[in-house]
Structure 1
């Protein structure tokens, strides 16, 4: 999503005629593009996914900071944002240039390099970063295996340290890259993130996947969520991601049809409450249907976990609310089956829109 703001001036006695051939520039573009912010750019070596997640205190950060290209890499260009860095650096990587050489050459040609913060990571995990002198507030960057994180005008270095720690903790776990990026971004956000305060805040995540059949788009994008303005932008980013991927827990289940119903069946099956001894497949004829058998399995689980059921406590038949989802995962953890279930559900919770 790209938003353009147009300014209209009404005058009673003045008529302005643009000069022939001169493009009219929206009023909001007359100042320099500034995204003081923090972000993470990363790759997943198992899948070849590349992505960026970012949040800031000004609107529509997704329109300027994150740049990704399937099979190539990812770029975050922020502070006094120069959007041209996105394609310039990705083009250089595509030609076989290293991130370090590409960034060094780009900065050398930029008279405003001291006001920039730029990070680039290639699909093979090599990376480079630059943080200029910038404004009088904490700014810095950090690189790790398969990721780079950076920020400016932050409450302190603990923000990007939290982002890094979260992303490192999810390495090798059965989660899609977009999911991991949002979680890592939130780890920095809850510590204060951007030092400034204001009502207009935004966040974005963009991920591309070069594997055939993983995206409906020719550019391979599997996730492109741009929360232009929200009181809780990272929380809204998570809500949208979970809703679009139909991740179990994004809605309260009673009797519905959808990908989250399939996930519920897999979890109940692993715990022995649904089709014990059978294998639950995503392509089955009733995989996404909340059938009477599913309702009975939910009620049996709730009864075993001492939760309310139609017979005990008067809860609706087959009720799957936030507490039920939490209890299901807790039961899977206790039985040592959580990781295997997450691995089975991985494809079923992916965005392909």
Structure 2
């Protein structure tokens, strides 16, 4: 159980192998197995037999697959080899679990959260029930390290499991079994635990931890901090099984927000399959939450606004007392102005400055999409039964444009009769 500064806990491998093809038949490699300080040579045929047995028997290379493509082991348990983050925010009371892997639909199995209780991530050879069972134990006041001990006490496959747990006091712990695929390990720090297996290396966990720590006290929402942390780990290479289907998920529990389902899950995003699942999860988070950065924007002005105002004016929705909608000032690129430029440059510069001021004044009144125009658009939409619940103020979409143009053309036709 963690009580101090950051701690990293990698698994230890009991042997190291090296290959050489300097001798023997072409395409057949010799192998050396390290025991202590000695190197013993294995026969290639024996190595093939050993490798075949490890592929068939190892949970990391399960041969069976569920209908959705997720590998399952001999006990029928899904294989979510991955990296994940469990964290809390004491200021808001939120708890969160975020995960990404090169397996589809990770969100349905690995991350588990409960408002006012904490978070659990269960992965590697995954026992999904460890999520709710772990949260039940946390709810009864059991510390994370003891939670792991109880969950794994009778588990004969504990060495193939990886589980991370955190409670609302910020106490965190993780279990990484010896049979987890390399690189595998965990790290606990202030209000978080990150755990990973089958990684490109420990840099993944280091990046997740460092990024999460760097946003402590920043005022950023817990969800955003966790997504940014996962993004940093992914940038280091993440899960080393390149070429496989990928997914990502995040869940945030908030005792002050019942959520849409009344279960106090304030946020739940699952990217079931995507070439860049963490980036897609980030995009969904920013977009659905309307967070800064989800779009580019600027003050709306231009010829299309002038055209819309002209139509709204003709139909009596925008400045109906205005006698006539004025045309824009003449451009400085007319033949007359260009001739003046050659004959009298000084006079041309004065005329050009006057034209630019007139154009700026015109655009300020007629080319900007301002509150006055928004009110006119809303009235037009209401009169033409285009105002739907949830539409933002001044919403101009294809249907509104079609209706406006149709009404304008009909008005002009009637006037010409």
Provide the TM-score with structure 2 as the length reference: 0.54
Matched, 1:85 2:130: yes
2:219 and 2:67 map into 1 onto residues whose CA distance is 45
Alignment of 1:1-353 (within 5 A): 27=67, 31=72, 32-211=77-256, 213=257, 215-254=259-298
* 1:267 aligned partner: none
Render the CA deviation track for 1:229-278: whole Å, top value 9, x for unaligned.
Answer: 0000000000000011001221233579xxxxxxxxxxxxxxxxxxxxxx
Distance 1:92 1:195, change over 3 A: same
Secondary structure at the counterpart of residue 207 of structure 1: strand
Alignment root-mean-square deviation, CA: 2.3
What SS is found at the alignment partner of 2:184? strand
Q: How many Å separate the matches in 2 of 1:175 and 1:90?
A: 26
CA contact (8 A) 2:152 2:158 kept: yes
Q: Using the alignment, how far apart are the partners of 2:188 and 2:229 within structure 1?
A: 14
- 1:69-120 Cα shifts (integer Å, max 9, x gaps): 0000000000001001001110011111111111111111211110000010
Native 8 Å contact 1:199 1:231 kept in 2: no
On the 8 A contact 2:164/2:175 being kept in 1, the answer is yes
TM-score, with structure 1 as normaliser: 0.63
Alpha-carbon distance in 1 for matches of 2:292, 2:243: 33
Report SS of the residue matched to 2:275: coil
Q: Deviations over 1:116-162 (max 9, x none)?
A: 00010001111111000124421000000100001000010010000
Aligned to 1:274: none
* 3-state SS of paired residue (1:79): strand
CA contact (8 A) 1:254 1:317 kept: no
Number of residue-to-residue matches in the alignment: 237
Q: Rg bigger for which structure?
A: 2
Tell me, what secondary structure is at the counterpart of 2:261?
coil
* Matched-pair contact (CA < 8 Å) for 2:252–2:265: yes
For residue 219 of structure 1, report the CA deviation from its aligned partner.
1.6
In structure 2, the residue corresponding to 1:236 is in which secondary structure? helix
Aligned equivalents of 2:242, 2:275: Cα separation in 1: 11
Cα pair 1:202 1:228 within 8 Å, conserved: yes
Q: Give the distance between the partners of 2:292 and 2:71, measured in 1 at CA.
A: 44
**Larger deviation, residues 213-222 vs 92-101:** 213-222
Structure 2 unaligned blocks of 5 or more: 1-64, 301-358, 370-417
Determine the C-alpha separation between the residues in 2 that align with 1:219 and 1:136.
35
Name stretches of at least 5 consecutive residues in structure 1 with no aligned partner. 1-24, 257-309, 319-353
Contact 2:104-2:245 at 8 Å conserved across structures: yes
Cα deviation, residue 30, structure 1: 8.5
